Amino acid sequence: MTSHIYAIVYMGKTIRTKEYAVFIGRMVKARKDSGLRQIDVAKKLKRPQSYVSRVESGEYRLDILEVKKFANLYNKDITYFVK
In a domain, 36, yes or no: yes
pLDDT given at position 13: 53
pLDDT of residue 30: 98
> Is 3 part of any domain?
no
CATH code of the domain in which 57 resides: 1.10.260.40
In-domain check, residue 52: yes
Distance (Å, whole) CA 14 – CA 22: 13
Total domains, the chain: 1
Residue 77 in domain? yes
- Position 37 in a domain: yes
Q: Which residue has better confidence, 6 or 45?
A: 45
Q: Tell me the helix, strand and coil percentages in the chain, rounded to 5.
A: 55, 5, 35
Backbone angles phi, psi at 52, to 5 degrees: -65, -40
Whether residue 2 lies inside any domain: the answer is: no
For 59-71, what is each residue's pLDDT tens digit? 999 999 999 999 9
Tell me, yes or no, if the pTM score tops 0.85. no
Please check whether residue 1 lies inside any domain of the structure: no
The residues, any chain, with a CB within 8 Å of residue 46's CB and separated by 6 or more, are none
Q: Domain range for residue 41? A: 8-81
